[in-house]
Structure 1
Amino acid sequence: MEEKIAQAAARLKAAFIVFWALPFLLVVAGEVGGDWVGLWADDARLIYYVETLVILLTAACVPVSLKLFAWVMTKKIDTVTIEKALQLYVRWSLVRLLILFVPVMAGLLAYYLLMSHSAALCSLIGLTASLFCMPGEKRIRKELQIDKEENE
């Protein structure tokens, strides 16, 4: 069981690193410049629609990702065996990161394509919310209520 918990924590840590690395690479690409930066910055109507979409996306995805996981924990994960609970925990943690990834990348793309500071702020909100999803063995044990003594 200890090995499975360590593997689950390693898988979630890798996903978390990728979650942060991809926006970082997009920021580097945007700051280095290119023809795509500010491509649609002169279209006020498009800026309005995209900003509204990114704001609504962020306002929906952040609470959904956090509350959905809490709901899944009580309704699905807490009712199964430890091995199955560990698999479900990893799966739903990845889903939670994926839900947060959508407004982060949408906000960064909108920021660089439209030069919209509101979109950048939405992206930062998504990145900040991801800190509540930071993986680790200690957190897995706490949330799945696994004691070290019962596995040894």
Structure 2
Amino acid sequence: MEELIKQAVRNLNISYIFFWVLPAFLFGAGEFELFPVGCLADNAQAVYYFETIGILLTALCVPLSLKLFSSVLKKKIDHLTITLALKRYVQWSIVRLGMLEVAVVVNLLCYYLTVSSTGHLCMLIGLTASVFCLPSEERLRNELHIAKDEKL
């Protein structure tokens, strides 16, 4: 049982690290101008569309990723056996991070392509929301109602 929990936490930590690697890579690529920075800055219509998509995506993904996970946890995962609950918990945690990743990457690209601070702000909102998804063994045990000495 303890080994399954440690493996689940390890998988969650790896996915969380990968969540931060892609934006960091894109940020570095943008700062070193490895892709065309500001190529759409003169096109007001493109700036408007990119900003609107970025804002709507952030407004949709951030609350959905945080609230949806909590409701799925209560309605579906709590009623499963512990081994299946651990698998589903890891899967839904990865889905939650994936939703935030989409919002962060789109807004980061919006920031560099349009040189608009709106994309940068929405990216920071997505990254800040990911702090609420920080995995730990204690959090996993609390959310799945697993006592420290409970056996399989």
Q: TM-score range by the shorter chain?
A: over 0.9
What pairs up with 1:18-97 in 2 under 5 angstroms? 18-34=18-34, 36-97=36-97
The list of structure 1 runs, each at least 4 consecutive aligned residues, that deviate by more than 3 angstroms after superposition, is: none
Mapped partners of 2:149, 2:13: distance in 1: 24
Partners of 1:75 and 1:148 in 2: CA distance: 23
Separation in 1, partners of 2:46, 2:148:
55
1:93-139 per-residue CA deviation (whole Å, 9 max, x = no partner) reads 00000011111000000111111100110010000000000001111
Gap change, CA 1:14 and 1:35, over 3 Å in 2: closer
Matches of 1:51 and 1:100, distance apart in 2: 17
Normalised by the length of structure 1, the TM-score is 0.97
Q: Cα offset for 1:151?
A: 2.4
How far is the alpha carbon of 1:35 from its aligned partner? 5.1
Note the residue ranges of structure 1 that are not aligned, 5 or more in a row.
none
- What TM-score, normalized to structure 2? 0.97
- Matched with 1:11 is 11
1:99 maps to amino acid: M
**Which amino acid is 1:19 matched to?**
F
Q: How far apart in 2 are the matches of 1:147 and 1:35?
A: 50
Gaps of 5+ in 2: none
Query: Aligned equivalents of 1:150 and 1:16: distance in 2?
Result: 27
CA RMSD of aligned residues (A): 1.1
Correspondence list, 1:109-148, <5 A: 109-148=109-148
